[in-house]
Structure 1
Amino acid sequence: MNRSPENGQNESGTAPRSADSKLLFPLRLVPFERYMLADDRLAYPMTFLVQVGLQGAPDRESMEGAFAQALARHPLLGARLTRCCGARHWALADGPPAVLRWYDGPAASDFGPGRRIDLRAAAPVAGEIWSEGDTATLLLWFHHAACDGIGAMRFLGDLLAFYGLRTAPADRRPTLLPVDPAGLAYRGIFDTRPPVPVTRWEASKGMVREVWKVLSRRPRVLQGPRRPTGSSEAEKRKLVTTTLPEQVYLRYSHEASALGSTANDVLLRDMFLTVEAWNRRWGVRRQDGWLRINMPTALRGKRDVRMPATNVLGYALITHHTRECRDPARLLREIARETEAIRTWSLGAMFVEALRIVDRVPGALWLGTRLSRRYATVVLSNLGDPTRRFRARFPRVGKEIQAGNLLVKSIFGAPPVRPGTRAALALFHYADRLTIALNADPQWLGASAARDFLTSYEQQLRETARTVSPTGPGEAL
């Protein structure tokens, strides 16, 4: 079943590289990576899960070979954490490489969206395949210190592409696009530029102003039952998902266009409305207060097109008062104005720059993660179409990608949660379906409450979609 690599691949099956990745290591950690390690805890690991639904029976030898080849294209995901010259570094692993674990039957219900990974002894990625008949589930856990959601999608795309190269007939084989591991040497230095020149003084004033807004507007938590009962620990740990069908999504996107906003702006607005209504439902004594959505923002520029899996993102902390939820149209206009500024000025990089400043004081990052227990009410990450993040091109059956004998039916995942931020959601637009995945803090939102909250958000999205005719063009997220 195995075939020799083609499509411009070298003998190892990886794309030609401008520099040997071995020459890059050891790599000193950058501030964002150190922040993720500082925020990593036993009860709240900084890991996230990507789950892929497959139609077809995976060939074990081909998939394991593809996994090894994908790791070679993304060397940070095969590295280990070590201390060198008094500082922590990424180093090439001396021990056994990361491997895929195989199980028969449907995916276990207790796999958990947040799995603890000790980066000193294990690779930043762990994988499992659960196979039953002609269907399978691929589970990939990533440590956020090593890569973000887009980086995870690049690894996933390579894994599927290498598998397709090994198993597909010649006329249905995927094509790999080049990556350049040399780019890892400048990760943490973002290829972002302001639309007009600004002085260092003006930039510093802007950062101080934004930091003060964050510190002075303490957000409310998402309410829920403390230590929920009536559900098993396994159920409490499982990702909760819902999917909007094509017609509903098209109406929703058309409504965003009619309102002069992006679909992402309306998704953010509807999350604010959902959280405000949810907290009122749970009987918050003081109903008025600040709500904040942490929106991860991609900081990849043209220079990063060939970047392998790593972190190239910042955080935009969008804060609004509960009173603003009483006027949804005005709230949407304010959010649209904010997101336009975030895109134009790359404001997500301000969070990373603040980390860089704090990191100059030994121990300050760790202390900050312990003293500040609530950065946001919820996290909302919009990955859009995950296949657009791949560094590979695939044949399709309808609107679903094909990798050899496997058809990819679904792709979704969710960010990690931290103390005080009790819900983290991610949106994936694949095959004209919008899938929303929720990772909830099991101490506050068990399976039933998490499902309830996600249903409330879905109902708000459907209510927005009902305000327009079912015909008309839809905008991709």
Structure 2
Amino acid sequence: MQELRVTSLDEAFVNLANDAVMSVHFEVRVAGRLDADKLTRAIKEAMAAHPLSRARLRAPTLGTRTLTWQIDDEADFFALEVVDGPAGPARDRLQSLSPDLSASPPFRAMLVREDGGDRLILNCHHAAFDGMSAMRFTTSIAQAYAGDPIDLDGPTLEDARNLRKLVGSRSIEDLKPRVAKVGKDILNRRRIARLAPEGGMQTGRDHIVSHLKLTADEVATVSGKRPKGATLNDVAIAAHALTIIGWNAGRDVKPADTVSVLMPVNLRAKEWSNHVVSNFASYLTIFVPTDVTDLTTATEIVRDETQLVKENGAAGWIVDILEPGNKLPAALKRGLTSMLPLVERQFVETTALSNLGRLAIPDFGDAGAVTEAWFSPPPLSPTVPIALGVAGLGRELFLGFRGDRRALDATAVDRFAASYRTTLLEG
């Protein structure tokens, strides 16, 4: 048995799971058929290779001050759910569940049989997995299914999870840009936009997933719209903000000055950025003024913000403030902590967008190549009711829109995705 301290990044999602479903959705479709027994064995091999994928939270006692992951040699119980398509209702049902962290493993898996190729759909608790972990875990499943050795790289789990060593500030000078970013964000949040609800229900915490695929030609069109120095991710964030501005136009919503987009940042070191199954997701917020109407201007604003935070390492702010053992003066730490929505267990942003980049998932042996790869982060609350996940495969882009049914019904999420496509291609 192995024990690991729950990090500040993990604990944020342990706490948030009390109010929302903190599931990371990752899904692949293969060209052929997946054998259920063989897939179950492959998943168990991947679990053996990645310790945190079979972790559970140790039951706290009355005097417990820190949470601990307990990792046994084998998971308590694992069963692959097999469903005959269609995938849509099964996917929504799976992503509406929050894996129980008191038992291992901290994920659920579903095999959906469909004409045109079977799907493997994962629901991973965000306290143990981030989006990159879900992708890395799926890669290991594919390797095991094909009969190949699981390719492990990167440091040990204990070393990798030393967040203060990984990204913590070394001095007050390192800390300055991080403090400046947090302080500036407070000013930008004075009047942030809230997505107007449509058709939502008042009870339950169910999620709805809508998929949008961009062809290679469409991706080339979007790429050609980039202002100088902008990335495809900058365009994706800008289009997301503009879609929300357009969605709210003419609706009964409070006046707003900005759309705030929560952007997860992978804190892994560059040398092992696609490895180690654990939660390494910190967060930065990108703001787009609500009076912006065209995609080029919005992308330029996003480009300037993202370039700055990449250069100054601002994504490490949560580690500086929340991880034990940091060297911040106590008064400064108390002041900064009071500014953090994560600590207050509430997200004050408009939406979230997470981009896994271009993926390279190996073939599933005799089941064939991966033809689709879908990902979506969780919507954070009924007031932050939609989140967008982006993944590239080959020359195509796969976009997963996930809505909170307390604010949006299935028709609304589909309509939002269609509006996003129009904004991206015609904005």
So what's the TM-score if we normalise by structure 2?
A: 0.85
Q: For the Cα contact (< 8 Å) 2:167–2:319, is it kept in 1?
A: no
1:423 pairs, out of 376, 381, 386, with: 386
Does 2:90 correspond to 1:106? no
Map 1:138-157 to 2 at 5 A: 138-157=120-139
Per the TM alignment, residue 225 of structure 1 is displaced from its structure 2 partner at its CA by: 2.5
Task: Indicate the SS of the match to 1:220.
Answer: coil
- Output the aligned Cα RMSD: 3.2
Give, in angstroms, the shift of residue 213 of structure 1. Answer: 2.1
> Is contact 1:75-1:181 (8 Å) kept?
no
For 1:268, the equivalent position in structure 2 comes to: 237
Aligned residues: 409
Question: Which deviates more, 307-316 or 347-356?
Answer: 347-356
How much has 1:143 moved relative to structure 2?
Answer: 0.4
CA distance change for structure 1 residues 152 and 95 in 2, over 3 Å: closer, same or farther?
closer
- Decide whether aligned partners of structure 1 residues 369 and 306 sit closer, same or farther in structure 2, where only a CA change above 3 A counts: closer
Q: Which moved more, 1:155-164 or 1:431-440?
A: 431-440
1:248, distance to aligned residue in structure 2 (A): 1.1
Assess, with a 3 A threshold, how the Cα gap between structure 1 residues 327 and 145 changes in structure 2: closer, same or farther: same
5+ residue gaps, structure 1, are 1-21, 166-173, 395-400, 465-477
* Aligned residues of 2:16 and 2:345 also touching (Cα < 8 A): no
Query: Structure 1-normalised TM-score?
Result: 0.77
Secondary structure of the residue that 2:323 maps to in structure 1?
A: helix
Of 311, 323, 336 in structure 2, the residue corresponding to residue 356 of structure 1 is 323
Q: 1:407 is matched by which residue type in structure 2? A: A
- Detail structure 1 runs of 4+ shifted over 4 Å in the superposition: 190-194, 357-361, 367-372
Distance 2:380 2:171 in 1: 33
Give the direction of change, closer, same or farther, for the CA distance of 1:208–1:114 in structure 2 (3 Å limit): same
Q: Is 2:160–2:166's contact at 8 Å kept on the other side of the alignment?
A: no
User: How far did 1:55 drift?
Assistant: 2.8
Residue identity in the other structure for 1:443: R
Residue by residue over 1:145-181, the C-alpha shift from the partner in whole angstroms, topping out at 9 and shown as x without a partner, is: 001101110000010111011xxxxxxxx56423357
Q: Is the 8 A contact 1:78 1:97 kept in 2?
A: no
For 2:372, give the aligned amino acid: S
Q: 1:431 to 1:190 in 2, by over 3 A?
A: farther
Corresponding residue for residue 178 of structure 1: 152
CA distance in 2, matches of 1:384, 1:49: 15
Is residue 252–residue 461 contact of structure 1 (8 Å, CA) maintained in 2? yes
Which of 258, 271, 278 in structure 2 is aligned with 1:290? 258
Give the letter for the 1:227 counterpart: G
Q: CA deviation at 1:427?
A: 0.9
Per mean C-alpha deviation after superposition, the further-off stretch among 148-157 and 206-215 is 206-215
**Secondary structure of 1:109's partner?**
helix
Contact 2:57 2:69 in 1 (8 A): yes
Q: Which residue does 1:220 correspond to in 2? A: 193
Q: Which runs of 5+ in 2 are unaligned?
A: 327-332
Match for 1:321 among 276, 289, 302? Answer: 289
Closer/same/farther in 2, CA of residues 182 and 425 from structure 1, 3 Å limit: same
The equivalent of 1:28 in structure 2 is 5
- Pick aligned residue for 1:164 from 136, 139, 146: 146
Closer/same/farther in 2, CA of residues 250 and 375 from structure 1, 3 Å limit: same
Q: Is the 8 A contact 1:100 1:128 kept in 2?
A: yes
User: Which letter does structure 2 place at the counterpart of 1:430?
Assistant: L
Q: For residues 344-377 of structure 1, what are the alpha-carbon distances to aligned partners after superposition, in whole Å with 9 as ceiling and x for unaligned?
A: 222222234333379998xx89x96585644311
Match of 1:384 in 2: 357
The residue type equivalent to 1:109 in the other structure is P
Q: Contact 2:30/2:367 (CA < 8 Å) preserved in 1?
A: no
Match of 1:405 among 367, 370, 395: 367
Instruction: Indicate the residue corresponding to 2:20 in structure 1.
Output: 44
Q: Distance in 1 between matches of 2:372 and 2:164?
A: 31
- 1:361-372 correspondence to structure 2 within 5 Å: 371=344
What displacement does 1:226 show?
5.7
Give, in whole Å, the separation in 2 of the partners of 1:95 and 1:301.
28
Q: 1:463 to 1:259 in 2, by over 3 A?
A: farther
Percent of matched pairs sharing the same residue: 23
How far does the alpha carbon of each residue in 1:36-61 deviate from its partner, in whole angstroms, 9 at most, with x for none? 111112x5121122122223222233
- 1:106 CA drift (Å): 3.5
Alpha-carbon distance between aligned partners in 1 of 2:239 and 2:224, rounded to the nearest angstrom: 15
Alpha-carbon distance in 2 for matches of 1:314, 1:385: 20
Displacement of 1:233 after TM fit? 8.8
* Equivalent-residue separation in structure 1 for 2:100 and 2:184 (angstroms): 35
Q: How does 1:438-453 map to 2 (within 5 A)?
A: 438-453=401-416
One-letter code aligned to 1:220 = A
Deviation at 1:209, TM superposition (A): 2.5
Match among 64, 70, 73 for residue 91 of structure 1: 70
Determine if the alignment matches structure 1 residue 308 to structure 2 residue 276: yes
Match for residue 219 of structure 2? 249
- Whichever of the two has the greater Rg, that structure is 1
Question: Which 10-residue stretch deviates more, 29-38 or 95-104?
Answer: 95-104
SS of residue in 1 equivalent to 2:47: helix
Q: Does the Cα contact within 8 Å between 2:199 and 2:409 map onto a contact in 1?
A: no
| Residue 341 of structure 1 pairs with residue 286 of structure 2 | no
Distance 1:101 1:294 in 2: 32
